[in-house]
Amino acid sequence: MLKAIVTVMLKKGIFDPQGRAVQNGLESIGFEGIGSVRVGKQIELTLETKDRAEADSSVHEMCDKMLSNPVVESYSFEIVEA
């Protein structure tokens, strides 16, 4: 079994209201020195295949078709042993 760890973040330059809200929240409870906050998703998929090349190509396709919105988001992933 393999595990794919996919990270989906808003592209640089796209306003991130959730990140801004988290930053405001942290500042409101006393944290200082925060330059910026960006909030994205981490999606962990366990895959039944043992073939890393197959997993890699399959996860790329999942990201392109469903897990990310290529207009505003970018993704990256790594494949590890589950």
Q: Locate tokens 């409101």: which residue?
A: 28
Least Å distance, CB 54 to a copy of itself, is 9
**Distances from the Cα of 59 to the Cαs of 10, 36, 62, 75, in angstroms?**
19, 30, 5, 11
Q: Are 6 and 77 in contact (CB under 8 A)?
A: yes
Least Å distance, CB 41 to a copy of itself, is 6
User: Is there binding between residue 80 and a copy of itself (CB under 8 A)?
Assistant: no
User: Is there binding between residue 52 and a copy of itself (CB under 8 A)?
Assistant: no
Q: Which of 62, 68, 77, 79 binds a copy of itself (CB under 8 A)?
A: 62
